[in-house]
Structure 1
Amino acid sequence: MDQDKFIFCLEAVPDVELENNTEVVQHLEQLALEHGLASIYKTCDTIEGLEESLNALLYDDHNFKDYEVIYFVMQGQENTICIHDYYYSLEEIAELFEGKLKGKIVHFANEKVLDLSNDEAQYFIDVTGARAVSGYGAAFNNLSSIHLDKVFFSLFQDQDDLVEIVEELHQKYYAICKLLDFRLYY
């Protein structure tokens, strides 16, 4: 392995001032211990907080090029994310991060369904500069995607080819990929 890669996780919470030891934090710590995959975890409760967090990573973290995955853990409906009871379309998010996600994989947890048309996916990728967008076509309130997300992220440590990564994910975890309807747009 030539160089480690990292995850930047942004989770929407009701109030950033409160202590947030969510399931996501615990699993990111486990990912670091088991696979050596480091991450930065931030919470946001406003769209401004989301933008500030990503801008701090972009402009203040000299290792930004090492962040392979931008991991959004946010609720939403259809192709929106919900922050503090307000819905933002993925088009708005794309415009907010115009040109700032060059070469990154933007991954959404199954807190929200990701069901993009080819045109919507291409718009998001073109505007943000992202390498790919991934997520799930099915959301289950009682079944978190975190375990499959961890496997997906760990596969980036060993290889760079997105198609091979997704094929391996489906080969090893076909049933859960099918149940959650794992999707990758690139």
Structure 2
Amino acid sequence: MDNEKFIFCLEGVKDIDDHTPTHVVKCLEELAIDQGISSIHKTCDTIEGLEESLNILLYEDHNFKDYEIIYLAMPGQENNICLHDYYYSIEEIAELFEGKMKGKIIHFANLKVLDLNEEEAQYFLDITGARAISGYGSTYNKIASCSTIDKAFFSLYQENDNLFEVVEDLYTKHYNLCKLLDFRLYY
């Protein structure tokens, strides 16, 4: 597929030395098998590990331009991620990604709430260069977003570059889940 859009997933875990496959890994494998969408999955347990994985992707992976979705599966609280029992704000994440995400979609799994006001969203987009940031206003923990709605979002985006149409299709096909998890897209 000439216009295939790859996914680069960074998953926050308690210990990177624990190689037990996570739910996110299983979801990405299903996405590859069922829909042919390729991804790279890296784990990190510290902010330094996140930065190192990002730098390897940016400076050593010659296919970086093909990774249109940066998928962050990290626990946390509203507009924060948690790594090694330390919370990093959305502003700190933006500064870490400064200028490195040109044209990318940064997508957060529903392990944390993403509830940005217009100013916060614009700051993140301006600093990172990202095309959009997406996530969920609810961490409804009985449903992991990666098993359902994230896969649908990634699949729809694979077929269509128009984010407005993708979100419209997502809501049309998965309305109840979109409302339950409060899917959000900032652009």
Shorter-chain TM range is over 0.9
- Give the TM-score of the pair, scaled to structure 2: 0.97
Q: Which residue of 2 aligns with 1:131?
A: 131
Question: Is the contact between residue 97 and residue 128 of structure 2 (CA under 8 Å) also seen in structure 1?
Answer: yes
Give the match's secondary structure for 2:94: helix
C-alpha distance in structure 2 between counterparts of 1:157 and 1:76, whole Å: 28
Point out where structure 2 has 5 or more consecutive residues left out of the alignment.
Answer: none
Q: Deviations over 1:45-73 (max 9, x none)?
A: 00000000011001111110000100001
Measure, in 1, the Cα distance between the counterparts of 2:17 and 2:70: 23
**Distance of 1:136 and 1:97 partners within structure 2:** 20
User: Partner of 2:149 in structure 1?
Assistant: 148
Is 1:172 equivalent to 2:161 in the alignment? no
Q: Which digits, 9 at most, give the CA deviation of each residue in 1:113-134, with x for residues without a partner?
A: 0000000000000000000000
CA distance in 2, matches of 1:171, 1:108: 21
Matching of residue 117 in structure 1 with residue 122 in structure 2 = no
1:1-186 equivalences in 2 (<5 Å):
2-146=2-146, 147-186=148-187
| Percentage identity across paired residues of the two chains | 68
Task: Determine the C-alpha separation between the residues in 2 that align with 1:140 and 1:180.
Answer: 6
User: How many residues in Structure 1 have an aligned counterpart in Structure 2?
Assistant: 186
**Structure 1 length-normalised TM:** 0.98
Partner AA of 1:49 in structure 2: G
Cα-Cα RMSD:
0.8
